[in-house]
Amino acid sequence: MATSVESAGIRLQIISPPPDLSPYISLYYLTEVDPGHAFADLIPPEWANLRVGRAASYEAAIGSAAAFRQVPQIVIAGPTAQATRLQIGAGRFWGIGLLPLGFAKFLGVPAHTYADRFADLAAEPAAVPLRPMLESLLDMPGPVEAAVPAMNLAFRALLDRPVPQGEAILATHKAVVSDMSRSVASLAREVGTSTRTLERFCRRNFGFNPQLLLRRQRFLRSLASFMVDPTMRWIHTLDSHYHDQAHFVRDFRMFMGMTPSEYAARAHPITGLAVRARRCARREAMQVLHKPEPPVPHHLEAAE
């Protein structure tokens, strides 16, 4: 069943994928902006997404120094370690959240080639099997449930694709999401590999080196606490991995391009709605906090 939340001029519907696709996809979602409305927001770092939409305006920039550019109607948005500045006008925007295992399964290209960038799906040969379904979403009427059968069918057709080192991707993702790993060395021990091998493996399958992944995770655990309850003081949102507030502020500047107080003073029309929807659906407040689930055995290959 879909969860729907709305604010003045904007609505968001989210729905979970079926169990056989949940190891690969975090959520399906539909954002609708009413005519005469436009919104700007700063989207925190996240895993990859496939997005489809037509809008009066639709521009984005990843990182505080990047210039805004037009977002293609059908876009691959890779994993990010910098906030995405987003400006959208009236329109409908479908989205599919890809977990690391899903990026490897359905696209099969090195994740670091899409790190902190978005690109027209038409330029990616690996996405050809998904293009008919994604193109159909451009004119798909109705609520988010209307598109679910077509999305499920397209992704299920690819479930027999092998995923090299699939078990290792899942184990590493679980370890990164867990708050038990405090260093690259402890993460490597947990997944049973060397730190050098882990560096290469994480860049290919997660987009970033393991140190940045751990740093991003602790930051987003803290930011999620604030987004769930913006009345909290920042000092009370800090993850246990932070030494002090100054440590957190440095991370905040790195990931969001501003200080916590500057961010708190901004409106969060899109991120706030997404957090509300995910919480209403009893999901983690942000995609990066999503805990991965193991796929059915014949859809996963052992680590090589």
For the chain, the structural domain boundaries read 3-161, 166-288
Whether the CB-CB separation of 220 and 251 falls below 8 Å is answered with no
In the predicted structure, residue 302 carries a pLDDT above the cut 60? no
Question: What are 87's strand-pairing partners?
Answer: 40, 59
- Nearest to 100, CA basis, from 203, 215, 13: 203
Whether the CB-CB separation of 103 and 47 falls below 8 Å is answered with yes
Say what percent of the chain tops pLDDT 90. 83
Query: With bands split at pLDDT 50, 70 and 90, how would you rate the model's confidence at 300?
Result: low
In the predicted structure, residue 204 carries a pLDDT above the cut 60? yes
Lookup: tokens for 164: 């090299």
Q: Residue 299: its pLDDT value, please?
A: 52
Q: Please tell me the distance from the alpha carbon of residue 93 to that of residue 14, in angstroms, as a whole number.
A: 12
Lowest mean pLDDT among 202-206, 223-227, 272-276: 223-227
Mean predicted lDDT score pLDDT of the chain: 94
Q: Which residue has the higher pLDDT, 106 or 304?
A: 106
pLDDT tens, residue by residue, 137-151: 999 998 999 999 999
Question: What are 60's strand-pairing partners?
Answer: 69, 86
Q: Residue 304: its pLDDT value, please?
A: 38
For residue 181, the one-letter residue type is S
75-96 average pLDDT score? 98
pLDDT tens, residue by residue, 137-195: 999 998 999 999 999 999 999 999 999 999 999 999 999 999 888 899 999 999 999 99
Q: Residue 237: its pLDDT value, please?
A: 80
Neighbour tally for 44: CB within 10 Å = 25
Lookup: tokens for 125: 């040969």
From residue 183, give the alpha-carbon distance in Å to each of 10, 81, 190, 199, 237.
40, 18, 11, 13, 21
Neighbour tally for 189: CB within 10 Å = 15
DSSP state of 138: T
285-299 average pLDDT score? 83
Q: Please tell me the distance from the alpha carbon of residue 206 to that of residue 45, in angstroms, as a whole number.
A: 13
* Residue for token pair 């790993």: 181
Lowest mean pLDDT among 35-39, 79-83, 221-225: 221-225
Q: Residue 303: its pLDDT value, please?
A: 40
CATH number of 3-161: 2.60.120.10
Q: Residue 236: its pLDDT value, please?
A: 76
Q: Residue 238: its pLDDT value, please?
A: 86
In the predicted structure, residue 267 carries a pLDDT above the cut 60? yes
Query: What is the reported pTM?
Result: 0.94
Say which CATH topology domain 166-288 has: Arc Repressor Mutant, subunit A (1.10.10)
Q: Residue 92: its pLDDT value, please?
A: 96
